[in-house]
Every structure is written in C-alpha cells, then in structure tokens.
Structure 1
Amino acid sequence: MPLRLVAGRHRGRPLAAPPDRATRPTGERVREAVFNILAHAGYGPEGGDAVADAVVLDAFAGTGALAFEALSRGAAEAWLFDNSPAALGFARKNAETLGETGRAHVLRADALKPPPAKARATLLFLDPPYAKGLIGPAIAALSAAGWLAPGCLVVAETAADEPAVPGLHLLDERRYGIARIGFGRVAG
C-alpha cells in the first residue's frame, strides 16, 4: 500500500518511499492522530493550531512524511535533515512531486551535529531510529545551533518500551502499537 498524505491541500497524494523499508516513515494512521492532536490540543500560538504557519524542522526526515504532512496542513516552511543520501533522494523527489521545493528545504545534515541555524523552528519532529537514545542529544544540539525558537513544540517518536524522552517537558504522550509519541516543550 503506498504512503499517502492524510489531509490538507495535498490530501491523498502519494509519497515516494523505499520499498525495502530501510527508512521507517510514520504511518498514515499515526500521522493522522498526531496532526489531529496538533490541531486541537491548544499547543499553538494563543492556544490554537500548532501547525498553521509553523516553521517546521523534521530532524530525522527520511522520506519527509511528517514535514510534507505539515506543509499540506498549512505550515509556512519546513526544513528536512537526514544523513542518508537515499532517504534525502526520496525527500527531494517528494518535494518536487508536491510542488513544495520553495517551502521544503532538504539538507544533508546530522541532527546531532547540525549546521548553524538558517531558521528557528516552532515545531520540531524527531523520529530517529528506535532504541539509540538520540532524542535528548538531538534536542540539545539543535538548540545549541540556534534551530529551536523559544517555546518550540517537540513531537518525538520512540519505541513504546523506551524510557521517557530526556530534555523535554512532556505535555502529552500516546502509544500507537510499537510506537510512543511524546508532545512537549524543550525543558529549561
């Protein structure tokens, strides 16, 4: 079954993804649940939608499913980081297919050693490989490099059995099968 965008201006449009699942895109049902929470939980400016007009950083982007879902739903722009040339190829192809090359900035970058900030994200997606303890170090590195705006909302995906996300003031947490999604703000 192809990977598709769930809602917004690109609703139903397919996303390119590797057939071997070397990259693990967040599934449609989980993305739908996450974005419903972002739209209705009051985490955005003045208690509104956290995605509308957001500057998004998808720090372990893979195919870019989370960033492109955010753009489809009204984010202003998205920055996509990944180390894998193959994953970045899919992310670039998705940006081109969706006509989002002007708002989707795809960079070969390491979230643990990010380049100096070119934008300040108001919404950060972290979906690294499971069970490697990368979320806390990524938050610290991205913050130190200037990528996170004050009050940046963080959506972090971990394996359901991983410990709580360090460096995050948790607002909510949900389990979806083998995944756990934490919503929070950078601690401190």
Structure 2
Amino acid sequence: MAAAWAWAARRRAPATAGLRAVAAKPPPPGSLRLTGGSLRGRRLAVPSGQGVRPTSDRARETLFNVLTNRFKRPGGQSVLSEARVLDAFAGTGALGLEALSRGAAFAAFAENSRAHAAVLQANIAALGLTDGLTSVRTTAAAFSVEGGFGVILADPPYAQGPVAVAALLTDGGLWHGETLLVWEGDSETDRSLPGWSLLHEKAVGQTTFSFHAPEGSWDWPAGG
C-alpha cells in the first residue's frame, strides 16, 4: 500500500495552481453550481433534454461534506486532499469538478455520450482548469493505470447501478487497497459488493450515497 501512495504522491504537483487559473468566458448559467472549495459558487452548464440526471447541489454538498469531514487519511487530512479521483459516469462532470475544487490533485472523467462529453469539456474550460488536472475519455477502462485512483465516484443510471458498479470494479487497474468508492443510487438499491466493505451510508431525499473500501484495507479514521 505504501507503494501505491508513493506513486500517487508523484502526481500531486500541478494541483493548486491550476484551480486558480483565470477562467475563459463562462458558459450560460445552468442549474448546477459548485458548492465548496476554491471554485465555490461557479456555475456548470447542463445539457437539456438528453437524459441527464445530475446530482443536485444539495445532495452533492452533503456528499462532499461527508468526504471532507468523515473520511481521513493517516495524519488527519481529508481523503480528497491531493487525491487522484475517477468520476466514472461523469455526465456534466459535477462530481469530479467538485472534488477538484475541494482539494483533489487530478480528476479523470469517463463519459460515453459525445454530447455530454462536449458539455463537460466546456465546463472544464470555463473553470480555467489547466492541462494535467483533468482528462476526459469515453470509458473508465481507458484510465486503467498502475496504482489506480484514491477515490472513485460512481453515479450510474439507478436501474443499472449494481451491474454497472460491479463491472467497473472488475478492472483492478482502477483501484488499490486504499481506494474509497462512493456509489450514488436510490434507497432501494442493493449495495452489496463482493470483496468490498460497506463503511457508511448517507441519504439525501431519494438519493443514497454509500461508501465502500476493499475488504482488509486499513481502518478509516472517522471524523466528526
């Protein structure tokens, strides 16, 4: 596990400076905004009429408050601090962009819709994020690399959740022994994942976030 963290540490250098870059002309105000961190209050464009179900501002703020305050790395820093994050079903990119705003070093976005990916790329450009902080590809498998991601954010279509998340985790190149998986779904979703422990659940209206880690990984220090 130490090797995984040493590998991740070498990726950290470009994080903070890129988030302070001057943005290009912003997209027309959408229905979403970033809720915390260095980009708090910035608006995100959302495609209309294309089957997008973005996580609401309220639910996203609750999720990232849990990630920031409850899950701590050894030494007490947030699990998001300098993390490599995968937004596995990206849509508008709101989850991965929120992670960058709140201290992640790098966010990878997987989105198989060309129209949605175009909006995501426009959001990244409007926020002024520099090269090296983000990458957008059509599948999560395209990001399979040695060392994997410290945080995986999975918000698949609710009806496809168990199958989609299980398929995602079959690619061992995406995660390591200290990865935290966040799965967004409805309250009826079966959250059992072979080989992964359920650490915590948080409901926000009709949405439930569950937090998982590989079985046998180190105990997560719980914040307040």
Q: TM-score, normalised by structure 1?
A: 0.89
Q: Which residue of 1 aligns with 2:6?
A: none
Aligned with 1:138 (options 168, 174, 177) = 168
Q: Which residue of 1 aligns with 2:152?
A: 124
User: Paired residues, what number?
Assistant: 182
2:119 partner amino acid: F
Q: Does 1:171 align with 2:217?
A: no
Q: Which residue of 1 aligns with 2:174?
A: 147
Is the 2:108–2:143 contact (alpha carbons within 8 Å) kept by the matching residues of 1? no
**Bigger proportion of residues as strand:** 1
Is the 1:57–1:121 contact (alpha carbons within 8 Å) kept by the matching residues of 2? yes
**Residue range with higher mean Cα deviation, 91-100 or 131-140:** 131-140
Instruction: Give the superposition deviation at 1:150.
Output: 2.4
Q: Does 1:99 align with 2:128?
A: yes
Is the 2:187–2:206 contact (alpha carbons within 8 Å) kept by the matching residues of 1? yes
The verdict on how the C-alpha distance between 1:88 and 1:176 changes in structure 2, with shifts beyond 3 A counting, is same
Runs of 5+ in structure 1 lacking a partner? none
Cα offsets for 1:111-134 (capped at 9, x unmatched): 4xx136246210100000012121
Q: TM-score, normalised by structure 2?
A: 0.76
Between the two proteins, what is the percent identity of the paired residues?
Answer: 36
Q: Which residue of 1 aligns with 2:70?
A: 41
Is the 1:40–1:49 contact (alpha carbons within 8 Å) kept by the matching residues of 2? yes
Is the 1:62–1:91 contact (alpha carbons within 8 Å) kept by the matching residues of 2? yes
**Bigger proportion of residues as helix:** 2
1:173 partner amino acid: E
Q: CA-atom RMSD, angstroms?
A: 1.7
Asked which structure has the greater CA Rg, the reply is 2
Is the 2:155–2:183 contact (alpha carbons within 8 Å) kept by the matching residues of 1? yes
Instruction: Give the superposition deviation at 1:43.
Output: 3.6
Give the number of the structure with larger relative contact order, counting CA–CA contacts within 8 Å between residues 6 or more apart. Answer: 2
The verdict on how the C-alpha distance between 1:101 and 1:91 changes in structure 2, with shifts beyond 3 A counting, is farther
